[in-house]
Structure 1
Amino acid sequence: MIRDAIADDAEALAAIYNDAVRNTTAIWNDVEVDAANRIAWMNARQGAGLPVLVLEEAGEVTGYASYGPFRAFDGYRETVEHSVYIRSDRRGGGRGRALMTQLIAFARAEGLHVMVAAIEAGNAASIALHEQLGFRAVGTMPEVGQKFGRWLDLALLQLVLDDRTQP
């Protein structure tokens, strides 16, 4: 079941986030968060009319997805950047695809024009998922990040959400 996140999901979201911080290059942060941080994050997103979706299986939150502004300038107001995270023991099996499909539908319903994915260039599984959903690669930024004592490249992909030729 995919639904809107609620405060009771905060512990699970923090656990998924922290696992990615500790063990992956999906999040380029070194600092873990707590449930209070995730509640504040959810409140800020949802208060701005942005989605925070969770995937619930057998009463457990096993993944989440959201999007926010791509850049903080007026000209980017119809472009968003998203994130999607699946609990490490539940990756694969279409969970990320299910969350992304809902997130894309939400963005289209909101009248947005472009969704951006910024993915560590070595994350072949995430890049493949995005390409299967219609995202196309638009560039790579070499060595713009770092984690685990190495430089990281950032792959940029985008999905055009509608066929408007003018804003």
Structure 2
Amino acid sequence: MDIKIGTLSDVEGITDIFNFYIEHTNARFEEEKFTLENRQQWFSQFSSNSKYQLYVATENDSLLGFACSQQYRATSAFEDTAEVTIYLTEDAKGKGIGSKLYSQLFASIIDFGIHRVLSSVALPNEASIALHKHFGFREVGVFNEYAKKNGQYISSMWLEKALDADMSLKSS
């Protein structure tokens, strides 16, 4: 298994992963599937020379998952904050791939001046919460039933982690 910087050629597989979560889970709030063109535009925000990066896990030319850091909000007040996210294929879950992706992502973005990383986890999702807590994220709070998809209300837990260069990347 390889962890590498995501490229435009990975976008089709990323789109498939997103669309699985849109169709089969509440992890994504969209009700309409993403298009390849939509995700290609989304991909343009990432660069290995910035705080917004995308890493993919592959094995035998098959995409297993991805992790990325993105702008939290488009205002200078949040310049030192990034939102991070991670998605895996169903077959890749429980094999340590998420930990490898986050380890690479955090090691790569730590020198770009990010002070805090945030993540939102749609509930229930104990595996994702455990992964984030493993990396030292702490629960900030839960937005109860603040989103609606397919007629069902969804709650999300928000988590945060300090990511200053002098701090460890992982909890002890």
Which TM-score applies when normalising by structure 1?
Answer: 0.91
User: What is the CA–CA distance in structure 1 between the aligned matches of 2:89 and 2:165, rounded to whole Å?
Assistant: 34
User: What is the CA–CA distance in structure 2 between the aligned matches of 1:33 and 1:46, rounded to whole Å?
Assistant: 22
Q: Which moved more, 1:136-145 or 1:28-37?
A: 28-37
User: What is the CA–CA distance in structure 1 between the aligned matches of 2:107 and 2:94, rounded to whole Å?
Assistant: 21
SS in 2 for 1:46: coil
Could you tell me which residue of structure 1 aligns to residue 108 of structure 2?
A: 106
Q: Give, in angstroms, the shift of residue 149 of structure 1.
A: 2.2
Q: Judge conservation of contact 1:134–1:159 (CA < 8 Å) in 2.
A: yes
RMSD: 1.8
Q: Judge conservation of contact 2:110–2:163 (CA < 8 Å) in 1.
A: yes
Unaligned segments of structure 2, at least 5 residues:
167-172
User: What is the CA–CA distance in structure 2 between the aligned matches of 1:129 and 1:152, rounded to whole Å?
Assistant: 20
SS in 1 for 2:46: helix
User: What is the CA–CA distance in structure 1 between the aligned matches of 2:47 and 2:80, rounded to whole Å?
Assistant: 17
From 100, 115, 118, the equivalent of 2:117 is 115
Runs of 4+ with deviation above 6 angstroms: none
Kindly provide the amino acid, as one letter, of the partner of residue 64 in structure 1. Answer: F
Question: Deviations for 1:69-125, whole angstroms, at most 9, x for unmatched residues?
Answer: 112221111011111110122211111111111111122121211000111131111
Q: Percent identity?
A: 29
Could you tell me which residue of structure 1 aligns to residue 157 of structure 2?
A: 155
Unaligned segments of structure 1, at least 5 residues:
none
Q: Judge conservation of contact 2:66–2:86 (CA < 8 Å) in 1.
A: yes
Q: How many residues align?
A: 164
Alignment of 1:12 with 2:47, yes or no, is no
Kindly provide the amino acid, as one letter, of the partner of residue 117 in structure 1. Answer: S
From 141, 144, 149, the equivalent of 1:142 is 144
Q: Judge conservation of contact 1:11–1:34 (CA < 8 Å) in 2.
A: no
